[in-house]
């Protein structure tokens, strides 16, 4: 099964036999891979009907849900990991959803496009228009992204919320981990991945 680069890296952070909740799970590829490679027990939440059908075809447990409505259907500490890949920036209240992730899960994992990536800055500065890149392919008027952020923004939010960042990985424009993105992540990183938990847990 061909996985996105960020999904492959997420898989390395998941302990075998874990309980996993995948928010905005798409077609279920990540959960299907984690079930096969890591023997996880998991559920996906998804709003798109076509993606739900794709999940069912893969044998992935999926629930039709709107993430903006929260995770009230789940008890505290129901999961070892709660994952949200490439969906944080599409949420109406991403800060609240981070709280919900750490209420129902021991750890959270998110990935998102870094709005501070240098091609975005160049397009804004010289072009005077919202960036269109591989990580942000839509035009401003038809994008699902409503709360774009930079790596720095996300880390400030975590600090304000008492969230401890356990691991960070930043992918470059060719979706690889590179030295440049390690040294200057907010400038040279295109996709950011974080694993985190509440401080003091």
Integer Cα distance of 61 and 83 in angstroms: 15
Mean of all residue pLDDT scores within the chain? 92
- Does residue 138 lie in a domain region? no
Looking only at the bridges linking them, the beta strands covering 79-85 and 105-113 are parallel
Looking at the 3D structure of the chain, how many domains does it have?
Answer: 1
- Band of the pLDDT at 3, cuts 50, 70, 90? confident
Confidence of residue 1 (pLDDT cuts 50, 70, 90): low
Residue 152: per-residue pLDDT: 96
Q: By residue range, what is the domain housing residue 184?
A: 5-113+145-198
Crossing angle for the helix pair 94-104 and 151-161, nearest 10 degrees?
60
In a domain, 168, yes or no: yes
> Does residue 135 lie within any of the structural domains?
no
Which string of DSSP letters, residue by residue, matches 164-178?
Answer: EEEEEEEE-TTSSB-
| Percent of the chain topping pLDDT 90 | 73
Q: Return the biggest CA–CA distance within the chain.
A: 50
Rounded Cα distance, 152 and 135, in Å: 18
> Using one digit for the tens of pLDDT, what is the confidence trace for 38-67?
999 999 999 999 999 999 999 999 999 999
| Contacts (Cβ under 8 Å, ≥6 apart) of 17 | 38, 39, 40, 41
Work out the end-to-end distance of the chain between its first and last CA atoms, rounded to an integer number of angstroms: 35
Whole-model pTM over 0.75: yes
What mean pLDDT do residues 97-102 have? 96
48 CB neighbour count, 10 Å cutoff: 14
In a domain, 133, yes or no: no
How large is the average pLDDT for residues 84-88?
A: 94
């Amino acid at each position: 099964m061909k996985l996105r680069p960020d999904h492959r890296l997420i898989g390395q952070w998941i302990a075998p036999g874990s309980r996993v909740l995948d928010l905005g799970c798409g077609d279920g590829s990540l959960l299907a891979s984690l079930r096969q490679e890591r023997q996880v027990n998991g559920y996906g939440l998804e709003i798109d009907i076509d993606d739900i059908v794709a999940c069912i075809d893969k044998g992935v447990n999926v629930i039709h849900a709107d993430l903006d409505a929260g995770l009230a259907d789940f008890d505290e500490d129901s999961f070892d990991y709660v994952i949200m890949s490439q969906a944080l920036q599409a949420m109406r209240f991403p800060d609240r959803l981070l709280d919900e992730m750490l209420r129902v899960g021991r750890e959270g994992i998110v990935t998102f496009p870094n709005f501070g990536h240098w091609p975005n800055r160049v397009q804004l500065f010289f072009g005077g228009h919202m960036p269109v890149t591989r990580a942000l392919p839509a035009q401003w008027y038809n994008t699902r992204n409503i709360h774009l952020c930079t790596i720095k923004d996300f880390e400030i939010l975590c600090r304000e919320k008492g969230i401890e960042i356990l691991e960070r990985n930043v992918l470059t424009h060719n979706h690889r981990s590179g030295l440049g993105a390690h040294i200057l992540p907010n400038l040279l990183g295109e996709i950011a991945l974080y694993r985190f938990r509440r401080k003091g847990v």
